[in-house]
Structure 1
Amino acid sequence: MSKLASIYDRSRVPLYIQVASVMRQRIDTGFWMQGDKISTLEELEREFAVARVTIRQAIELLREEGLLDAQQGRGTFVSGKPKHNRWLNLATDFDSMIASIRENVLKRVHIEENAPLPELTEGEGKVAPEGYTFLRSVQYNNEEPFSVVNLYLAQHIFAKGRELFSHVAALPNIAEMDDVSITHAHQTVTIGVADPETADLLKIGLGEPTADCRLVLVDGEGVAIYVADIHYHKSCFALRVDLLEKTGPRGGRKIAGKK
């Protein structure tokens, strides 16, 4: 078995998607510039150690994304570049989180009451005894989708604003409920890949990287009342933090023997 074959086997992502991801990265970084003719099918076969049909599938995927243009008799050319507009800075405190999504435009694509219970890990609170409503939505910026939100909302919270939660972001409204206490807001950020449903809703390629944020709100009774898994389009996401904001400036130290 070749070294590449063993690398491919580490992933459950289809082979052509793995190849397309590398090719997409080359366009993204400028290794292949817009207008450039990329390597031939034969060269790509040898480089990636895969069958020609796999290369063709990868090229077709990138063609559908507007990144490549296959011209019969001439070869395949770079016709576009992945969008980069990292306008979304993920909030690192609760108030900033609320402010950042208050005006978001969203479209609910699925609502299911009495949904299966969400999976909770240690420290994320206990399951709401009355169950949950599941809400899936897509959030938009400049009419372009930038995130998919899969939310489990405790049934008693959903019942407080059934019509409201069906049309607007839930979090800002929960924060304004006088009879709801929030004692913990656990946020975890990881890197993932787009599954078929997320890829379709975000209009990106299957298996493309996503920034995944899990947010769990726990009330005063220790119940997880809000359990959200949010998948952000990679091109909109950034995490910017001043690492000296809390400690203040650090003074330089003199090096021994120097004035």
Structure 2
Amino acid sequence: MAKGRVTERRGKIPAYIQVASALRRRIESGDWQPLQQISTLEELEQEFQVARVTVRQAVDLLENEGLVTRKQGRGTFVNEHVNDKRWLQLATTWDGLLASIRDNVPRYIRVPNPPAFPRLAEGEGKPASSYVFLRSVQMKDGTPFGVVNVHLARDIFEKAREEFTKHTVLPVLAMVEGLEIRDATQTMVIGTADRETAELLQVSLSAPTAECRCVVIDADGVAVYVADITYRSDCVKLTIDLLEGLKRQQKDGRRTRQKAA
């Protein structure tokens, strides 16, 4: 088992969160099996070179997450059934993306002086004449997991103003009558939470995040939807079917042979 010594804080992430992250990885990777007793507080204190109170805080965090249970006089044990904290599967298709966020209930936040236009990189289309800026926090079971900043073309917004201000924007956009979508891309990078994002997501300053950027371009080459989304890293996972293209080719080939027959 790899040892995880905490010799200094990364940025301003508290030491107990670093320790908790290392212990969480051991549970998720199977180093510590269900019902197995984990290392004692003294052993963890020596391993990570931190104070006993820091180790206690780390174990408290794991217990609150439902990963471990402390038993008086016996020690701390991995729970038999561990919930998958990384429940948010990042979509890799348009339909998958819409399905994954359709039922989200955003909590919109008023922004006093929002940026009038989004930053557009090469290949992300040309700007609309005017945009509406929408910021929201996405919640699950009362816990924030994502901060969404959206620039939406104003003419599109006016077609369904009420829907756009009550629901997640992208599924509403997909239903706008007369809108022809030419391109839709999503890019993900690993980042860290700034002060404002950390407060909204209830994580530590500089905590790791998954930052997604989604751009939707209409038939005229206009970027009608530009979203920058920051997710807590502890709820996100990305799964890609590496044989998806091959499976599609095989499926198309079977259809062709069936038609020929």
TM-score norm. by structure 2 comes to: 0.69
Given that 2:38 and 2:76 are in contact with CA atoms closer than 8 Å, whether structure 1 keeps it comes out as yes
What are the superposed Cα offsets for residues 47-69 of structure 1, whole Å, 9 maximum, x if unpaired? Answer: 11222221111111112112223
Distance 1:79 1:226, change over 3 A: same
SS of the residue 1:19 aligns to: helix
Same amino acid, percent of matched pairs:
34
Change (3 A) 1:58 1:144: same
What is the RMSD of the two structures over their aligned residues, measured on CA atoms?
Answer: 4.0
Matches within 5 A, 1:77-96: 77-79=77-79, 81-84=81-84, 90-96=90-96
- 8 Å contact kept, 1:17–1:206: no
**CA positional deviation for 1:190:** 3.4
Which stretch of structure 1 is more off in the superposition, 75-84 or 31-40?
75-84
Between the aligned partners of 2:62 and 2:205, the Cα distance in structure 1 is 11
Match of 1:116 among 114, 117, 121: 114
Q: Tell me the SS of whatever aligns to 1:171.
A: helix
Show the 5 A alignment for 1:164-179. Answer: 164-179=163-178
1:153 to 151, 154, 158: 151
**Corresponding position of 2:42:** 42
Query: Alignment length, in residue pairs?
Result: 238
Counterparts of 2:239 and 2:176, CA distance in 1: 29
Structure 1 Cα separation of the partners of residues 94 and 65 of structure 2? 36
* 1:124-167 deviations in Å (ceiling 9; x for gaps): 45665534331425366xx7979635141326133321211123
Deviation at 1:38, TM superposition (A): 1.7
Superposition pairs for residues 129-208 of structure 1, below 5 Å? 130-138=130-138, 148=146, 150-154=148-152, 156=154, 157-191=156-190, 195-198=198-201
Please name the residue that 2:23 is paired with: 23
Question: 1:200-237: per-residue Cα shift (whole Å, max 9, x none)?
Answer: 8xxxx999876543212234354453314153775674
DSSP-derived class of the 2:130 partner: coil
TM-score of the superposition, structure 1-length normalised?
Answer: 0.69
SS of 2:151's partner is strand
Tell me the distance in 2 between the aligned counterparts of 1:79 and 1:207.
29
> CA separation in 2, counterparts of 1:218 and 1:87?
29
The answer to whether the 8 Å contact 2:105/2:168 transfers is no
Contact 2:184 2:215 in 1 (8 A): yes
